[in-house]
Amino acid sequence: MGWCKFSGTCTVRRAKTGGDARLAKRKGELAELVFVLKAASLGLGVCKPYGDSLAFDFVVTGGERLLRIQVKSAFTSHRRGYEINLAGGHRRSRLYTSQNIDFFAAYVVAHDAWYIVPVTAIVGRKMLRLYPAGTARPGGGEFENFREAWHLITDPQPTAAVKDAACEIPSPLAYPSRQSYGGQ
C-alpha cells in the first residue's frame, strides 16, 4: 500500500495501537483526506463544516442535492472482514439517523475500497461488516451492492438502488440540533 505512515501496521489483523487515541484520530483524518480527493475527482463539491461537533464530516453537492456525509474507515481486518463502527457521540453510544446524516462513506484501506451506504440502509445498527475480498459465510457481504456506489451521491435524483434499500433522502441540509445528535 505505502500511501500513509501507518500502512505497515494498517493491513495486519488487529494492529495494536497501545491505546493511543491520537493514532486512531490520525487514521480517521487520513481517511477523510482520501474521501475529499476521491469526491473531488468525481466532480463533487466538498465542504467541511467548522469544528467537529456536528454528526457529519462533510457536505457534498450531488447533482442539485446537498448531502451530509459521515466518513468512517477500517485499517485492520477482523475475521476476514472489516468492521466499521457506526455509533457516534461522546461514548460511541448514539446511533446516526436520517435526521443527522444522509450517507456513510466507509473506506477499507487495505483494499482501497469505498462503500457509499445510505443511512436508512443501516437503521438500528452499531456496526457494519464489510467483505471487499469476498466471504464464504452465507448471508455475508450484504453491503457489497454499496461498494463504489458513488452514483448514489453523484446522480441528481435518488436511483432505484437507493429506493430498493428502502431509503428516503431527507430534505437537503436539515441540520440536526445538538439535542437530536447529542453533541460531544
167 in the Ramachandran plot: left (φ > 0), alpha (ψ -120 to 50) or beta? beta
Q: Which range has the top average pLDDT, 31-35, 129-133, 140-144?
A: 31-35
For the chain, the average pLDDT equals 77
Domain membership flag for residue 180: no
Q: Is residue 180 predicted with pLDDT exceeding 80?
A: no
Would you say residue 183 lies in a domain?
no
CA distance linking residue 56 with residue 175, whole number of Å: 10
Is the pTM here over 0.85, yes or no? Answer: no
Q: What is the CATH number of the domain that holds 73?
A: 3.40.1350.10
Domain encompassing residue 103:
7-171
Whether residue 78 lies inside any domain: the answer is yes
- pLDDT confidence band for 171 (50 / 70 / 90): very low
| CA atoms of 140 and 144, how far apart (whole Å) | 9
CB 101 within 8 A of CB 55: yes
For residue 45, the model assigns a pLDDT of 94
The dihedral built from the CA positions of residue 7, 11, 16 and 21, taken in this order, carries a sign that is positive
Return the higher-pLDDT residue of 116 and 165. 116
141 versus 100: which is more confidently predicted?
100
How many domains are contained in the chain?
1
Per-residue pLDDT tens over the stretch 15-53: 455 556 678 889 989 999 999 999 999 999 999 999 888
Give the mean pLDDT of 66-80: 89
Please check whether residue 176 lies inside any domain of the structure.
no
Q: Which residue has the higher pLDDT, 179 or 145?
A: 145
Q: Which pLDDT score is estimated for 89?
A: 55
pLDDT band at 88 (very low <50, low <70, confident <90, very high): low
CA dihedral (184, 113, 153, 42) positive or negative:
positive
Give per-residue burial for 115-134: e unless 16+ CB within 10 Å, then b: bbbbbbbbeeeeebbbbbee
pLDDT at 13: 42
User: Is position 60 within any domain?
Assistant: yes
Inform me whether the pLDDT recorded for 169 exceeds 60.
no
For 157, counting Cβ atoms within 10 Å of its Cβ (0-12 exposed, 13-18 middle, 19+ buried), the class is exposed
In a domain, residue 120? The reply is: yes
User: Is residue 177 one of the residues assigned to a domain?
Assistant: no
* 57 lies in some domain: yes
